[in-house]
Amino acid sequence: MTAAFPYLSLIMLAPALGLLIILFLPHDSKRAVRWVSLISAAVSLLATLYVWQAYDRMAGGLQFVERTLWVKSLGIYYYLGVDGINLPLVLLTSIVLFTGVWTMWDLKHRVKEFFALMLLMVVGVYGVFLALDLFFLFVFYDVSLFPMYPLIAIWGSTRKEYGALKLTLYLLAGSALILPGILYIYFKSGLFTFDLVMLAKAGLAPDVQYLGFFLFLFGFGVLAGLWPFHTWSPVGHVAAPTAVSMIHAGVLMKLGAYGVLRVGMYLCPQGLIDWAPLFAILATVGIVYGAFVGLAQTDLKYVIGYSSVSHMGLVSLGLATMTLGGVSGAVFQMFAHGIMTALLFSSVGHVYDSTHTKMIPELGGMAKVQPRASFFFILAALAGIGVPCLASFWAELLVFINGFKVYPVLGTLALSGLVVSALFMLRVVQKTFYGPKNEKYAGCVDIRSSMIWPRAILAGTILLFGLLPRLMLDTITVGVAPLVELFK
């Protein structure tokens, strides 16, 4: 059904408009820059919330559709729409963007450029999640990747040039697989259209799907942190400034998994069936491996980075099960992990900004110095180890049940990752926040009252969907159900 008012364009273009306004603001009006960014993020968030509540879950399918022919000769459409799969991810992006901008309120260095690049990146992210046209999807995908380089290289820390370069090269290498994949499908389908929905109905030959899915799996998989193409992610997380880490780990990595789901699985279901065992093995290795490597890290941000590798492995495992529960769990996990990691990075960001260190051995006893930052970190860490009544528990539950059902051995192995991840997260909590009051940092201030709100929004989201999982899952299942029909 077609929308009366282009809400999706509003969501996507509000940051673009904010970006335009910022470009015309003078360099030294930092206040105005911040407010423009925050307001544009708020407009996106409000529009997303409206779409979230107005989406008809009984009817399901694509809604709020906007479809206009753009280039006729090539079959390119400006085609946006939401269903149960991308709606949670758009919500995730809006929440993380809004809280991320707020978290960076105190930034002093090159404020205008920072917020401009951040908004540009988010336009790309929204574009990927909303676009149903492969051409637009790919363009937006690259739009979302490119601002990462300056954002990390200029505002980052700890080997920032290396981290930025590595990340960019990795992700561009991924793109280099995706573009041929898209063109391959485009020509082999014989339809000469980039319209995703039409292509999915084309019924591609099994060998085309085989190669196509391979390209999409590894092309997008790089961004999803699929083992063994994950090493860019911890390095990049560590180097990036707080809000960029939040968006990067919280949202950007989901673009990869979403790409595998929306492009790979949707267009090449037969290809997934062929590649699923390899996909599941890589996912399981990532889950266990990420947890063990995380155990050995001494840098707080590296720890979170490797926990992301482990958690994104769960997303991949869920997708590889090809079942309704597993794929729904994977989508839920994308959402839950995004919110949780954003909260982790925003708390660590505060600790780092005030103490100027993120090395675990130098910290310790921070709970007495910064109780608020500690509370948020611990809550997110507990969500990360799958404590019930916090959002990720339900996602992990579904992924594990279906993982075990489809791949009993891999499922059991992945389960054992739960113990290791509990060990390493609690170890970090203990070493960083517990212990006698840290006199060295006694003067470091806690999060001030107005800056609690962005963290409280994230924490509240974790609790809300943890206590009432149906709010999220009922939407996701509606979107996933038609997809898994393709695998039968």
Residue type, 168: T
Secondary structure of 199-226 in the HEC alphabet? HHHCCCCHHHHHHHHHHHHHHHHHHCCC
Alpha carbons 456 and 64: distance in angstroms, whole number: 30
* Residue 439 found at the interface with another protein (CB under 8 A): no
Binding string, residues 223-262; x marks residues near another protein by CB under 8 A: -----x-xx-------------------------------
Alpha carbons 91 and 457: distance in angstroms, whole number: 13
Alpha carbons 384 and 347: distance in angstroms, whole number: 14
* Residue 339 found at the interface with another protein (CB under 8 A): no
Instruction: Tell me which of 20, 32, 415, 486 binds another protein, using CB under 8 A.
Output: 415
What are φ and ψ of residue 226, in 5° steps?
-70, 130
Site for another protein in 377-396 (CB under 8 A): 382, 386-389, 393-394
The total of other beta-carbon atoms located within 10 Å of residue 144's CB is 25
Query: How are beta strands 76-82 and 63-71 bridged, if at all?
Result: antiparallel
* Sole window of 86-94, 253-261, 431-439, 440-448 interacting with another protein (rule: CB under 8 A): 431-439
What are φ and ψ of residue 81, in 5° steps?
-175, 160
Using DSSP, how many helices (H) and how many strands (E) does the chain show?
Answer: 22, 2
* Residue 440 found at the interface with another protein (CB under 8 A): no
* Residue 420 found at the interface with another protein (CB under 8 A): yes
Q: Which helix (H) or strand (E) holds 346?
A: helix 324-355
| Residue 303 C-beta: closest distance to another protein, Å | 12
* Residue 367 found at the interface with another protein (CB under 8 A): yes
Helix (H, G, I), strand (E, B) or coil at 64: strand
| Residue 153 C-beta: closest distance to another protein, Å | 17
Nearer to another protein, 170 or 218 (CB): 170
* Residue 407 found at the interface with another protein (CB under 8 A): no
Copy the structure tokens of residue 168: 């960019």
Nearer to another protein, 144 or 333 (CB): 333
* Residue 470 found at the interface with another protein (CB under 8 A): yes
Which has the closest alpha carbon to 218: 269, 275, 287, 145?
A: 275
Instruction: Tell me which of 74, 169, 409, 445 binds another protein, using CB under 8 A.
Output: 169
| Residue 266 C-beta: closest distance to another protein, Å | 19
Alpha carbons 442 and 347: distance in angstroms, whole number: 17
Nearer to another protein, 124 or 313 (CB): 313
Give Cα separations from 283 to 171, 290, 407, 413 (angstroms).
19, 10, 12, 11
* Residue 435 found at the interface with another protein (CB under 8 A): yes
* Residue 413 found at the interface with another protein (CB under 8 A): no
Nearer to another protein, 21 or 387 (CB): 387
Nearer to another protein, 427 or 440 (CB): 427
The total of other beta-carbon atoms located within 10 Å of residue 470's CB is 10
Copy the structure tokens of residue 246: 């939040």
Q: Interface with another protein by CB under 8 A: which residues?
A: 166, 169-170, 228, 230-231, 289, 292-293, 295-297, 323-325, 328-329, 332, 365, 367-368, 382, 386-389, 393-394, 397-398, 400-402, 404-405, 411-412, 415-416, 418-420, 422-423, 426-427, 430, 433-437, 469-470, 473-474, 477
